[in-house]
């Protein structure tokens, strides 16, 4: 439902309450769909009677959409109930009536009889039928967003995190020596020969499958072009985690797989690329030489 301003909603509810003889609160609740709309039984509300001509049963002729929907009263019914005595009409909770008894409408086929005078001068007869939401000529394309000044709200956290990073880096560099082995010698191959750590998952994968396949599939296709293509493959526009479980699951599988392979490659592979346990056989990972031989 479109957002209808509160004061108009209230006005509509008042009109409806008046028409149906219910409280304004209930009318509001009905309009919001919180309770079932009131059904009008046999007691007709007489909302207006023109001085001379017709007493109009509310449901049939009044072109109020809500009322019409609820009780499309057949024409015959109108005829039967039309000559309601004034006294009876007075009992109805919301009744605007004139004392004069009215003859039945000549032809009541559900349409408003042409000769019915709907607006006697003595009464206010307007009713709020519908609310048309005002539309601006220029449409703002974006919703207003809650913004804060970059300084200091963004720059301060940035500054703090880069300071923390610097401190951490200097601390790390002070306690952990970067490795430097013997001078390069193309004639002496170390065993095992390991790639840099971020390629070790790949190296581990290559040890299972034919290099041609693993070499082609994993880094080339999936790794680069597959990753670049992600936004064009995932056409789901939602960014709520609950709405993109499948994508999250796939990426988490990727992370878990890459992580497992890397950890195996880094810690659990020794000479001849055989399985080793770091706590029994030691670690073949020279990047962290200083740390590994710490004790």
Partner 1 sequence: MKNEKIKFRDRIKDISSGLGDSLKESTLWGSIFRPGSPFRKGYSDSPRNRSYVVMNNVLYHLHPVKVKRHGVRLSYTLCLGGLSFFTFIVLTITGIWLMFYFRPTEMAYVDIQTLQTSIAFGSLVRNMHRWAAHIMVLVVFLHMSRVFYHGAYKAPREFNWVIGVILLLLTLLLSFTGYLLPWDQLAIWAVTVGGNMASYAPVIGAQVKFALFAGLEATEATLLRFYVLHVLFLPFIIVIFMAIHFWRVRKDGGISGPL
Task: Please choose, out of 8-16, 45-53, 97-105, 228-236, the segment that lies near partner 1 by the rule CB under 8 A.
Answer: 228-236
Task: Give least dist CB 208 to partner 1, A.
Answer: 14
Judged by CB under 8 A, does residue 16 bind partner 1? Answer: no
Q: What is the dihedral of CA 217, 220, 221, 226, to 10 degrees?
A: 130
Enter the tokens of residue 115. Answer: 């000769």
Give the whole-angstrom CA distance, residue 246 versus residue 249: 5
Maximal CA-CA distance, the chain: 121
Judged by CB under 8 A, does residue 222 bind partner 1? Answer: no
Task: Give least dist CB 183 to partner 1, A.
Answer: 4
Element (H, E) at 251: helix 245-267
Task: Give least dist CB 222 to partner 1, A.
Answer: 12
Task: Give least dist CB 163 to partner 1, A.
Answer: 10
Task: Please choose, out of 33-41, 60-68, 110-118, 219-227, the segment that lies near partner 1 by the rule CB under 8 A.
Answer: 219-227
Element (H, E) at 61: none
The interface mask with partner 1, positions 143-182, x = CB under 8 A, is: --xxxxxxxxxxx-xx--xx--xx--xx-xxx-xxxxxxx
Judged by CB under 8 A, does residue 270 bind partner 1? Answer: no
Give the whole-angstrom CA distance, residue 187 versus residue 181: 15
Judged by CB under 8 A, does residue 184 bind partner 1? Answer: yes
Give the whole-angstrom CA distance, residue 61 versus residue 64: 9
CA 19 to chain centre: 37
Task: Give least dist CB 210 to partner 1, A.
Answer: 9
Q: Give the residue with the Cβ less far from partner 1, 79 or 244.
A: 244
């Amino acid at each position: 439902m479109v957002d209808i301003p509160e004061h108009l909603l209230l006005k509509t509810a008042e009109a409806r309450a008046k028409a149906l003889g219910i409280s304004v609160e209930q009318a509001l609740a009905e309009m919001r769909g919180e309770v079932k709309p009131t059904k009008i039984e046999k007691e007709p509300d007489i909302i207006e009677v023109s001085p001379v001509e017709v007493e109009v049963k509310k449901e049939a002729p009044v072109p109020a959409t809500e009322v019409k929907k609820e009780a499309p009263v057949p024409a015959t019914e109108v005829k039967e109930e039309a000559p309601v005595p004034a006294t009876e009409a007075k009992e109805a909770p919301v009744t605007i009536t004139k004392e004069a008894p009215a003859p039945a409408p000549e032809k009541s086929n559900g349409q408003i009889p042409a000769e019915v005078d709907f607006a006697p001068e003595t009464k206010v007869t307007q009713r709020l039928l519908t609310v048309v939401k005002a539309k601006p000529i220029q449409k703002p394309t974006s919703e207003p967003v809650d913004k804060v000044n970059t300084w200091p709200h963004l720059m301060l956290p940035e500054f703090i995190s880069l300071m923390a990073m610097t401190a951490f880096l200097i601390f790390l560099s002070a306690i952990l020596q970067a490795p430097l082995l013997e001078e390069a010698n193309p004639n002496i191959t170390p065993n095992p020969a390991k790639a840099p750590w971020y390629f070790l998952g790949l190296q581990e994968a290559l040890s299972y499958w034919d290099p041609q396949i693993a070499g082609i599939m994993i880094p080339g296709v999936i790794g680069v072009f597959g990753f670049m293509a992600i936004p064009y493959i995932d056409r789901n526009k939602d960014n709520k985690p609950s709405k993109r479980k499948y994508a999250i699951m796939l990426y988490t599988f990727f992370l878990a797989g890459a992580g497992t392979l890397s950890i195996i490659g880094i810690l659990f592979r020794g000479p001849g690329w055989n399985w080793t346990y770091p706590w029994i056989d030691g670690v073949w990972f020279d990047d962290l030489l200083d740390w590994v031989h710490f004790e």
